[in-house]
Structure 1
Amino acid sequence: MINIQFPITSKVSEMDITTTNGGVWKRHVAVFAFPFASHPPLLLSLVQRLASAAPTVVFSFFNTRKSNRALFSELSCDNIRPYDVSDGIPEDYAFVGKPQEDINLFLAVAEEEFRRGVKVAEEDIGLRINCLVVDAFIWFSSQMAEDLNIPWVSFWTAGACSLSAHFYTDLIREKGAQLKGNSVGPDKEVVDLIPGFSTIRLGDLPGGVLFGNLESPFSTMLHNMGRTLDKATVVAINSFQELDTDLTKNLSSKFNNFLNIGPFHLISKQKPTSIFDEFSCSSWLDSQKPRSVAYISFGTICRLLPDEIVALAETLEETKIPFLWSLKNDIMKLLPDGFLERTTANGLGKVVSWAPQIQVLEHFAISVFVTHGGWNSVLESIGAGVPMICRPFLGDQQMNTWMVERVWGIGVRIEGGKFTKEGTRSALEHILSLNDSSKKLKERIETLKELAHEAVGPNGSSNQNFMTLVDVVTNATL
Structure 2
Amino acid sequence: MEITGKKHVGVFTFPFASHPPLLLNVVRRLASAAPAVVFSFFSSAKFNNALFTERGCDNILPYDISDGLPEGYGYDRKVVGEAQIGLFLGVAEEEFKRGVQAAEKDVGVRVSCLVVDVFLWFSGDLAGEMKIPWVAFWTAGSSSLSAHFHTDLIRQKYDKLKDSVRLDDEIPNLIPGLPMIRFSDIPKEVIFGDLESPFATMLHKMVGAITKATAVLVNSFQELDPDLTNNLSLLFNNFLLIGPFNLVSKQKPSSKSDESCCISWLDTQNPRSVAYISFGTVCTPPPHELVALAEALEETKTPFLWSLNNDAQKHLPSGFLDRTTTNGWGKIVPWAPQVQVLSHCSIGVFVTHGGWNSVLESIGAGVPMICRSFFGDQPTNAWMIERVWRVGVRIEGGSFTKHGTCGALQLVLSSSSDDGLKQRIEALKDLAHKSVGPNGSSARNFKTLVDVVTGATL
Short-chain TM bin: over 0.9
C-alpha separation between the residues in 2 aligned to 1:95 and 1:183?
Answer: 46
User: Which of 176, 186, 202 is the matching residue for 2:158?
Assistant: 176
Corresponding residue for residue 384 of structure 2: 403
**2:209 is the counterpart of 1:210:** no
Corresponding residue for residue 162 of structure 1: 144
Asked if the contact 2:55–2:61 (Cα under 8 Å) also holds between the matched residues in 1, the reply is no
**2:433 is the counterpart of 1:444:** no
Report SS of the residue matched to 2:350: strand
User: Which of 438, 441, 448 is the matching residue for 1:461?
Assistant: 441
Asked if the contact 1:32–1:114 (Cα under 8 Å) also holds between the matched residues in 2, the reply is yes
Corresponding residue for residue 144 of structure 1: 126
User: Which of 349, 352, 361 is the matching residue for 2:342?
Assistant: 361
When normalised by structure 1's length, the TM-score is 0.93
When normalised by structure 2's length, the TM-score is 0.97
Corresponding residue for residue 114 of structure 2: 132
Q: Could you list the structure 1 runs, at least 4 aligned residues long, displaced by more than 6 angstroms after superposition.
A: 271-275
C-alpha separation between the residues in 2 aligned to 1:280 and 1:439?
Answer: 34
Number of aligned positions between the proteins: 456
**Cα-Cα RMSD:** 1.7
Corresponding residue for residue 54 of structure 1: 34
Q: Alpha-carbon deviation of 1:108? A: 1.0
Return the letter of the residue paired with 1:442.
K
Q: Alpha-carbon deviation of 1:102? A: 1.4
User: Which of 190, 203, 226 is the matching residue for 2:171?
Assistant: 190
User: Which of 310, 323, 334 is the matching residue for 1:342?
Assistant: 323
**2:70 is the counterpart of 1:90:** yes
Asked if the contact 1:191–1:200 (Cα under 8 Å) also holds between the matched residues in 2, the reply is yes
Asked if the contact 1:28–1:57 (Cα under 8 Å) also holds between the matched residues in 2, the reply is yes
Corresponding residue for residue 21 of structure 1: none
C-alpha separation between the residues in 2 aligned to 1:115 and 1:428?
Answer: 51
**Counterparts in 2 of 1:327 and 1:34: CA distance versus 1, 3 Å:** same
Corresponding residue for residue 31 of structure 1: 11
Q: Alpha-carbon deviation of 1:207? A: 1.7
Matches within 5 A, 1:322-337: 322-337=303-318
Corresponding residue for residue 218 of structure 2: 237
Matches within 5 A, 1:379-458: 379-435=360-416, 438-458=418-438
Return the letter of the residue paired with 2:155.
R
Q: Note the residue ranges of structure 2 that are not aligned, 5 or more in a row.
A: none
Asked if the contact 1:61–1:81 (Cα under 8 Å) also holds between the matched residues in 2, the reply is yes
Q: Alpha-carbon deviation of 1:183? A: 4.7
**Counterparts in 2 of 1:47 and 1:374: CA distance versus 1, 3 Å:** same
**2:451 is the counterpart of 1:471:** yes
Report SS of the residue matched to 1:296: strand
Asked if the contact 1:63–1:85 (Cα under 8 Å) also holds between the matched residues in 2, the reply is yes
C-alpha separation between the residues in 1 aligned to 2:267 and 2:149?
Answer: 45
Instruction: Output one character per residue of 1:264-322: Cα deviation in whole Å (capped at 9) or x when no partner.
Output: 01011348899811100000000000011000000000011100000111111121110
C-alpha separation between the residues in 2 aligned to 1:274 and 1:439?
Answer: 40
Asked if the contact 2:354–2:373 (Cα under 8 Å) also holds between the matched residues in 1, the reply is yes
Q: Alpha-carbon deviation of 1:95? A: 5.5
User: Which of 88, 94, 97 is the matching residue for 1:112?
Assistant: 94
**2:281 is the counterpart of 1:300:** yes
Q: Which moved more, 1:90-99 or 1:203-212?
A: 90-99
Asked if the contact 1:25–1:58 (Cα under 8 Å) also holds between the matched residues in 2, the reply is no
C-alpha separation between the residues in 2 aligned to 1:76 and 1:449?
Answer: 36
**Counterparts in 2 of 1:255 and 1:355: CA distance versus 1, 3 Å:** same
User: Which of 210, 221, 228 is the matching residue for 1:247?
Assistant: 228
**Counterparts in 2 of 1:98 and 1:124: CA distance versus 1, 3 Å:** closer
Q: Alpha-carbon deviation of 1:40? A: 0.5
